[in-house]
Amino acid sequence: MRQDGDPDMNTEDKQAWPDLASRALGGSVTFANDELFAERENLVKPEEPAFQPHTFGHKGQIMDGWETRRRREPGHDAAIVRLGCGGVVRRVVVDTSYFTGNYPPEVSVEACGAEGYPSPAELAGAQWTTLVPRSPVAGDARNDFEVEPGRRATHVRLTIYPDGGVARLRVYGEPVPDPRLLPATIDLAALENGAVVTGCSNMFYSSPANLLLPGQARVMGDGWETSRRRDQANDWVEVRLACAGSVEVVELDTSHFVGNAPGWATLGGDGGDLLPRTALQPDTRHRFAVPGGPVTGQVRLDIYPDGGMARLRVLGRPTAEARAGLAGRFLDVLPEPQLAGLLRAAGLPPAEAARRAEARPGLDGLPAAARERFRLSLST
């Protein structure tokens, strides 16, 4: 993300990718072989790690991270994270903040794409691919690893050698939703559906990406807030929607913004205004019907003159072409074992499903039963 004067956010800025593992997106640590000193759930907390010296519990200094006991035999420790939304991983950060004499000297990170909601025991037999090979890391540091884009991942496995503590695991990447799970009308501006912020006038207090998060904001800091303007201009944010769609309802949510909500707002699309300049109330979920269902693939929210917004929702129906595009992207990045399973579930014999999965059939190679699950017409 950028502030005024920073480079164009349409370029592939590595900070623009959301953290797919974050609890804010629904990420969860489903397994750890050991968490004696500090709980595994800390790995995916959205806030930055914190430390209070000389705060001891029954098992020692309380650490804001995942920490295992000291090994007295050969081996290593591991934790599995179910991503909040499946996607293509672009970058991994293994954050060892405040772990100084107890951090792991080496780590590795793997990924797999799985159908449904497998248990840790089922994931043990999954096909894992390497995102970060076994690599040295520093203590009390954000250890940053660029990842070559590959297949869609639903889970990642962090392995530490031989033991120790990690404060946070960040898995930045491109969300790729499963089109089979998308109803006819979706939130086109949802980050988990693939929407992304592409431009912003000001993000002094908090990131505009918060506008696209699922669920309701818990506090003011969960939204987007700008600094106070002392000129005659106004603040704005631009969003590339998950796909082009016919807009039915928009929601501008100022929840928790009491003395700093915008006074007015407009929402524009590809062909003009979706919402004309409209007065807003503090701490309110504003919902507006959009007459005519105009089709757009991007929106621009202007707030007047400044202030904060908790969430932006753009509810609409993807066009037939856009839904086919979502399905094609999903199939392109689906791991081969998962794709073969999808084809078997559509009625293909195992050998034929494996052959087609290896050949990457795309939309044209989908059986009719699979096309129905993707809500695609036979002529698409």
Q: Long-range contacts made by residues 331-335, C-beta under 8 angstroms, separation at least 24?
A: 331/360, 331/361, 331/362, 331/363, 331/366, 332/360, 332/362, 333/88, 333/150, 333/151, 333/152, 333/176, 334/113, 334/151, 334/152, 335/112, 335/113, 335/127, 335/129, 335/151, 335/152
- Which pTM does this prediction carry? 0.90
pLDDT tens-place string over residues 303-360: 999 999 999 999 999 999 999 999 999 999 999 999 999 999 989 999 999 999 999 8
pLDDT of residue 377: 60
| Average pLDDT score, the chain | 92
Average pLDDT over residues 113-118: 94
pLDDT of residue 57: 87
First-to-last C-alpha distance (Å) of the chain: 36
327: phi then psi, degrees, rounded to nearest 5: -65, -40
Rounded Cα distance between 201 and 233, Å, is 10
pLDDT bucket at 376, cuts 50 / 70 / 90: confident
Residue 249, token pair as written in the block: 């309802």
Q: Decide: 133 and 108 in contact? Cβ < 8 Å.
A: yes
pLDDT tens-place string over residues 27-85: 999 999 999 999 999 999 999 999 988 888 888 888 899 999 999 999 999 999 999 99
* Predicted confidence (pLDDT) at residue 365 exceeds the cutoff of 90: no
Instruction: Give the angle subtended at the CA of 13 by the CAs of 7 and 16, to the nearest 5°.
Output: 110
pLDDT tens-place string over residues 257-298: 999 999 999 999 998 999 999 999 999 999 999 999 999 999
Q: Long-range contacts made by residues 221-225, C-beta under 8 angstroms, separation at least 24?
A: 222/24, 222/256, 222/310, 223/253, 223/255, 223/256, 223/257, 223/308, 223/309, 223/310, 223/311, 224/200, 224/308, 224/309, 225/257, 225/260, 225/307, 225/308, 225/309
Strands 295-304 and 264-269: antiparallel
pLDDT tens-place string over residues 248-266: 999 999 999 999 999 999 9
Lowest mean pLDDT among 20-34, 82-96, 105-119, 341-355: 341-355
Q: Decide: 212 and 312 in contact? Cβ < 8 Å.
A: yes
Provide the Cα torsion 339, 341, 343, 345; round to 10°.
-150
Amino acid symbol at 177: P
User: How many residues in total does the chain contain?
Assistant: 380
pLDDT bucket at 11, cuts 50 / 70 / 90: very low
Rounded Cα distance between 147 and 150, Å, is 8
Average pLDDT over residues 370-380: 70
- β-partners of residue 315 are 187, 249
pLDDT of residue 23: 96
- Among candidate residues 240, 247, 286, 238, the one with its CA nearest the CA of residue 263: 286
Of the CA atoms within 13 Å of residue 106, those in its CB half-sphere come to 8
DSSP 99-134: -SSSS-SEEEEEEE--SS---HHHHHTS--EEEEEE
pLDDT tens-place string over residues 184-235: 999 999 999 999 999 999 999 999 999 999 999 999 999 999 999 999 999 9
DSSP 3-state percent helix, strand, coil across the chain (nearest 5): 20, 35, 45
Q: Is 23 helix (H, G, I), strand (E, B) or coil?
A: helix
* Predicted confidence (pLDDT) at residue 13 exceeds the cutoff of 80: no
C-alpha dist (Å) from residue 329 to 4, 92, 298:
33, 22, 19
